[in-house]
Structure 1
Amino acid sequence: MNLRVIILLFCLIVLVEGKVHRFRLQRRSHRHHKVPHAHLHLQFRNALRRKFGYTPLRTVNAVNPTSGDKGGVVLTETLKNSYDTNFYGDVSTGEQSFTMQFDTGSSDFWVPSSHCKFCKKCGNKFFRESHSKTFQTDKIPFTITYGSGSVKGIVASDDVAFGDLKIQKQGIGLVNISDSCSDFDGICGLAFQPLSMTGSTPVFQQMIDQKLVEKPIFSFHLKSGSSDGGSMILGGSNSSLYYGPLTYTNVTEARYWTFKMDFVEVHGKGSRRCEGGCKAIMDTGTSLIVGPVLDILSINNAIGAQHNATFDLYTVDCSTITQLPVIVFGIGDKEFYVKPHTYVIVYQDFCYSGFMDMRGLTFWIIGDVFLRENYVEFDWGRQRIGIAPAV
């Protein structure tokens, strides 16, 4: 069984005029499409629980591109889509190129080091200290846990570049130990400073401080169904990528991108959850939509999904996808929709629901299932999230 495909399946990570830089990406091959073994799905669940501060389980139970007068650029990075569950692009550090997942659910920037034997076995690129003239480190240790696993290493600093946009002396993590493979080399965290495990200033805060971006805003336009994953825009938004105006909701806790969600319901089924509002996190580093057990059970029952005890997920009859109802999300007094061809993940003749529960979770994690239907702007300066239906 191909471990890289397994981790891909469950990992929880345009064209504009003006000052725009584009990136050339290479697709990695995936020859196997096998359903993961149950114990690997449990590992994924446990890692996700650790990422959001819950004790792991021991058993499984049933940019508008304008020319600004403040300097800086609006940069668009083309993203690669891997099975509608991973979105990543190229970034360089110490003038060495890496594929990075852009994760609003974490705050650290890390790449594999030359000492990470497991990373090399996974086929990931690794950082060579001797190849960088700007590398520095005090060898302070760190540990970070994600939905896809955990990493350990030392804190360092080096220049980090997105095309011609170069951050000087960015705090980075050099990973020496990892417990899982992924289709990308490292992670670029886009959440706030208090969430940093390396104690480093987050990448986007550095862009603002060093006056590299036109506006203190970044945006995501994710695509489904092909290797073209859409784009990430640094320094602004692109109004040609969404319909109507953006609806804004304030960040309620500047660690994750936390906000108040009004409700979630299955259209026409009378199964509204999160009634009266609840806490939610917008997380580009999580593939699915994760919520409290009873809420997810209600939604999956309403769409006719059946619990599969072997894999501890909800499967869907692939032949019924076109007949399934739309899921409605209430945010900022507006309604946003996710269609069944987006919330059902398809692997050959195996289809499963993009709504996953997590025991003990009292809030919602809004991942790529939502972002593949809706354009999302992350306004760092005003600490708010803007949402509109994506083109």
Structure 2
Amino acid sequence: MNLRVIILFLCLLVLVDCRKMHRFRLERRSHRHHKVPHAHMHIEFRNALRRKYGYTPLRTVNAVNVTSNSSKGVVLSEPLINSYDTNFFGIVSAGDQPFTMQFDTGSSDLWVPSSHCKFCIKQCGTKFFRESKSKAFRSSRVPFSITYGSGSVKGIVASDEVGFGDIKIRNQGFGLVNISDSCSVFDGIAGFAFQELSMTDSVPPFQQMIDQQLVEQPIFSFHLKSGSRDGGSLILGGSNSSLYYGPLTYTNVTEAKYWTFKMDFIEVHGKSSRRCESGCKAIMDTGTSLIVGPVMDVLYLNKAIGAEHNSTFDLYLVDCSSISQLPIIVFGIAGKEFYVKPQTYVIVYQDFCFSGFMDMRGLTHWIIGDVFLRENYVEFDWARKRMGIAPAV
């Protein structure tokens, strides 16, 4: 087993009402179809994630249940593809041209590669936008630049019709990428955070869906599943109570930029390991695969689950044969407890296993990524600025 290849893969960390209902099955993409990350190491991902959240790198290595009586808009279950349980993405069209996109609640912009992005096309093999194929395409010629956990992109701002299934957004602003420094398993990104975070000064796609009365409710929901061909769904315009147990527990957004909320605590069940004990800031980020937190807190949690730090790869490794004996992780949110099993928080790649808890030096809050969402259903209520959480089916 070549650990370097595995670490390269890691750097990719970082969707029927009888009137009009569309339901899709999600697929777990075969490994042979994955694009191998291009020349990125785990530390480089860590530094890029720091930039995404406003920190300067410290190191130089770089069946849907409708709950509204509204007659306007639809509820749509968007298909996702599950890549190694660390990336979830689906199909979005721009100018009637399909692209695979990651649905990212940690950013607010939508972008696709342009025909001028030679790196995207030749090195990554991504699809690219053809301006001549769309009559509705408009270019503002305004430049933009965005940095994500997986790398950065630059280009110009444009607009066109953008489609999520049969939901067609008119005049959606998006980035047309001319320069990129990394490859991903998807072509582009569709941001689901609030407009204040937009780097292209565009109205985010979900806000456009609301403004153009394309969705039945100002709500979208994520149901992610691990290790099966049916990988989960992004539900646009509603929620599905058959995909979670019990009632939703709501927590308010404390800053309408990211999906920021107050977390009560995080701990290893049955051990004196509680962190964030008096409450702390957290961000629900579907564009981040792991749980990311302050250095000492993550060190404490990893020690409590028996994970050992590997200085070569800057990862906490776990004995693959011990996963079933490891403890459950408990998240306290809005006075309730939510759980993540070791089979979910330990990332397994063949005979290589590592902890799903990663530190980030200088970080004082938590970034709650797909490790949590693969166990817990999350409803994002755009209008009320809150999130509803329940154990996922």
On whether the aligned pair clears a TM of 0.5, the verdict is yes
Residue in structure 2 matching 1:147, options 146, 149, 158: 149
CA distance in 2, matches of 1:39, 1:10: 6
The SS at the match of 2:100 is strand
Matched to 1:69, the amino acid is S
Aligned partners of 1:4 and 1:183 also within 8 Å:
no
Q: Post-superposition shift, 1:28?
A: 5.4
Distance in 2 of aligned mates of 1:18 and 1:80: 27
- Residue identity opposite 1:349 in structure 2: D
Structure 1 gap segments, 5+ residues each? none
SS at match of 2:354: strand
Contact 2:173 2:202 in 1 (8 A): yes
Q: Following the alignment from structure 1 to structure 2, what is the Cα–Cα distance between the partners of residues 96 and 71?
A: 26
Distance 1:7 1:142, change over 3 A: farther
Match of 1:113 in 2: 114
| Cα separation, 2, equivalents of 1:37 and 1:212 | 38
Question: What amino acid is the match of 2:309?
Answer: H
Give 1:336-375 correspondences, 5 Å limit. 336-375=338-377
SS in 1 for 2:120: helix
Q: State the identity %.
A: 78
Of stretches 99-108 and 5-14 in structure 1, the one that deviates more from structure 2 is 5-14
Contact 2:302 2:355 (8 Å CA) reproduced: yes
CA 1:368–1:331 in structure 2 vs 1: closer, same or farther (change >3 Å)? same
* 2:289 partner SS: coil
Q: What is the match of residue 54 of structure 2? A: 53
Give the structure 2 partner of residue 379 of structure 1.
381
Could you tell me which residue of structure 2 aligns to residue 252 of structure 1?
A: 254
Instruction: State the secondary structure of the residue aligned to 1:298.
Output: helix
How far apart, in 2, do the equivalents of 1:15 and 1:350 lie? Answer: 41
Residue 96 of structure 1: aligned partner: 97
1:172 match = 174
- CA distance in 1 between counterparts of 2:95 and 2:37 reads 36
| Amino acid of the structure 2 residue aligned with 1:108 | D
Q: Does 1:188 align with 2:187?
A: no
The TM-score, its normalising length taken from structure 1, stands at: 0.94
Aligned letter for 2:173?
A: G
What's the offset of the Cα at 1:384? 0.2
Q: 1:135 to 1:26 in 2, by over 3 A?
A: farther
Aligned to 2:159: 157
Per-residue deviation at 1:175? 0.4
Cross-structure match for 1:42 = 43
SS at match of 1:71: coil
CA RMSD of aligned residues (A): 2.5
Q: Partner residue of 2:70?
A: 69
2:332–2:338: 8 Å Cα contact kept in structure 1?
Answer: yes
CA distance in 2, matches of 1:135, 1:232: 27
3-state DSSP class of the match of 1:341?
Answer: helix
Aligned equivalents of 1:314 and 1:177: distance in 2?
33
> For the residues of structure 1 that align with 2:118 and 2:103, how far apart are their CA atoms?
24
C-alpha separation in 2, matches of 1:10 and 1:194: 27
Change (3 A) 1:227 1:159: same
Q: C-alpha separation between the residues in 2 aligned to 1:91 and 1:24?
A: 15
Aligned residue among 199, 202, 216 for 1:200:
202
Moved more, 367-376 or 48-57: 48-57
User: Deviation per CA, 1:327-347, whole angstroms, max 9, x where unpaired?
Assistant: 000000000000000000000
CA distance in 2, matches of 1:242, 1:211: 27
SS in 2 for 1:228: coil
Structure 1 distance, partners of 2:44, 2:274, is 30
Is the CA contact 1:4–1:181 (under 8 Å) kept in the aligned structure 2? Answer: no
SS of match in other structure, 1:321: helix
Relative to structure 1, is the Cα distance of residues 52 and 228 closer, same or farther in structure 2, using a 3 angstrom cutoff?
same
Per the alignment, do residues 38 and 143 of structure 1 end up closer, same or farther by CA in structure 2, a change over 3 Å counting? closer
Paired residues of 1:79 and 1:231 also in contact (CA < 8 A)? yes
Amino acid at match of 2:44: Q
* Residue matched to 2:280: 278
Q: State the partner residue of 2:126.
A: 124
* 1:76 to partner: Cα distance: 0.4
**1:139/1:44 CA distance change after superposition, 3 Å:** same
Shift of 1:270: 1.2
Q: Is the 8 A contact 1:65 1:237 kept in 2?
A: yes
Q: Name the CA distance, whole Å, in 1 between partners of 2:287 and 2:252.
A: 20
Distance 1:58 1:23 in 2: 43
User: Helix, strand or coil: the match of 1:320?
Assistant: helix
- CA distance in 1 between counterparts of 2:7 and 2:344 reads 20
Distance, in Å, in 2 between the alignment partners of 1:8 and 1:90 is 22
Residue type of the partner of 1:368?
D
Closer, same or farther: CA 136–252 of 1 in aligned 2, 3 Å: same
Determine helix, strand or coil for the equivalent of 2:31: coil
Q: 1:202/1:37 Cα in 2 relative to 1: closer, same or farther (>3 Å)?
A: closer
Aligned partners of 1:14 and 1:56: how far apart in 2? 33
Distance 2:199 2:5 in 1: 26
Kept in 2: contact 1:23–1:90 (CA 8 A): no
SS of the residue corresponding to residue 231 of structure 2 reads: strand
The answer to whether the 8 A contact 1:158-1:169 is kept is: yes
Partner of 2:83: 82
Alignment size in residue pairs:
389
Which deviates further from its counterpart, 248-257 or 35-44? 35-44
**Counterpart Cα distance in 1 of 2:342 and 2:378:** 20
The question of 1:211 aligning with 2:213 is answered yes
User: How far did residue 226 of structure 1 move?
Assistant: 2.7
SS of the aligned residue for 1:156 comes to strand
Question: Secondary structure in 2 aligned to 1:351?
Answer: strand
